Amino acid sequence: MIKFQDVTKIYPPNAAALRDVNLEINAGEFVSIVGQSGTGKTTLIKLLTAEERVSKGKILVGDWDITRIRQAEISTLRRQIGVIFQDFKLLPKKTVFENVAFALEVCGARPGRIKMIVPQVLRIVGLEEKADRYPKQLSGGEQQRVAIARSLIHRPKILVADEPTGNLDSINTREIADLLLKINEFGTTVLLVSHNRELVNSLRKRVVTLDQGAVISDQEVGKYVL
């Protein structure tokens, strides 16, 4: 599904964020990527979503080599990879419904399709009752669920969660983790980047540990080892 082959990323002038990373993630897997700050976790995600380009090596998504992806193809790639962040990245002046619908609007979906799909996705994340609320009227966990709903709107094959529980309390963290597991059960490959030892250990899924830009551990049912 996703293959990182000898991937190296060097930021000018000479800061290596990733060194010869080899990683293979199968379709439908749930993989946690852990490591201390500055070990290259976010760089890995940025390379996967074509926000950054590799300095050396190759990245494959399915059969698609995205190493030298053309500018015009990036939007197609991003519709296949849903991404959520620690800071949610919701638009404060739009309601829950509008925030989720925006992802379809900007990709040219017809109004009828938007009206049909958005409530379905909001139901999956348990927010159909709060469709008319604004982000500031929601808890942190609910805001993250809106972000997850938005990331699922294009029915992506891969969901990347970059520190999704960084701003949440333990109850909301659990809710988000359960939601990610549920999405994974539906067949979506989930990549969770996290600092949260308790969360990662509780998932009992594959854990890849990065240190100074290199993979130092890859366990099928792993634990946060650092």
Least Å from the CB of residue 211 to another protein: 28
The answer to whether residue 157 forms part of the interface with another protein (CB under 8 A) is no
Determine which residue in the list 12, 37, 63, 71 makes contact with another protein, applying CB under 8 A.
71
Total of residues contacting another protein (CB under 8 A): 24
**Bridge partners, residue 82, by sequence:** 159
Determine which residue in the list 3, 56, 78, 195 makes contact with another protein, applying CB under 8 A.
78
Instruction: Convert 169-205 to b/e letters by CB count within 10 Å (16 or more is b).
Output: eeebbbbbbebbeebbeeebbbbbbbbbeebbeebeb
Determine which residue in the list 74, 181, 214, 225 makes contact with another protein, applying CB under 8 A.
74
Residue 105 or 169 having the CB closest to another protein: 105
Tell me 1's DSSP state.
-
Q: Which stretch binds another protein (CB under 8 A): 14-22, 99-107, 175-183, 199-207?
A: 99-107
Determine which residue in the list 153, 159, 161, 207 makes contact with another protein, applying CB under 8 A.
153
Least Å from the CB of residue 89 to another protein: 6
The Cβ of residue 139 has, within 10 Å, a number of other Cβ atoms equal to 13
Determine which residue in the list 19, 41, 150, 205 makes contact with another protein, applying CB under 8 A.
150
Residue 136 or 220 having the CB closest to another protein: 136
Determine which residue in the list 23, 67, 69, 102 makes contact with another protein, applying CB under 8 A.
102
Which residues, at least 6 apart from 104, have a Cβ–Cβ distance to it below 8 Å?
A: 113, 114, 117, 118, 153, 154
Q: Which stretch binds another protein (CB under 8 A): 38-46, 55-63, 109-117, 203-211?
A: 109-117
Instruction: Please choose, from the candidates 77, 51, 74, the residue with its C-alpha nearest in 3D space to the C-alpha of residue 62.
Output: 77
Angle between helices 111-124 and 140-152 (to 10 degrees): 130
Tell me the C-alpha distance between 81 and 98, whole Å. 21
Q: Report in angstroms the alpha-carbon separations of 191 from 22, 169, 205.
A: 15, 21, 11
Tell me 72's DSSP state.
G
**Side chain identity, residue 185:** E
Residue 49 or 209 having the CB closest to another protein: 49
Q: Which stretch binds another protein (CB under 8 A): 1-9, 37-45, 98-106, 200-208?
A: 98-106
Q: Which residues bind another protein (CB under 8 A)?
A: 71-72, 74-79, 83, 89, 91, 102-103, 105-111, 150-151, 153-154
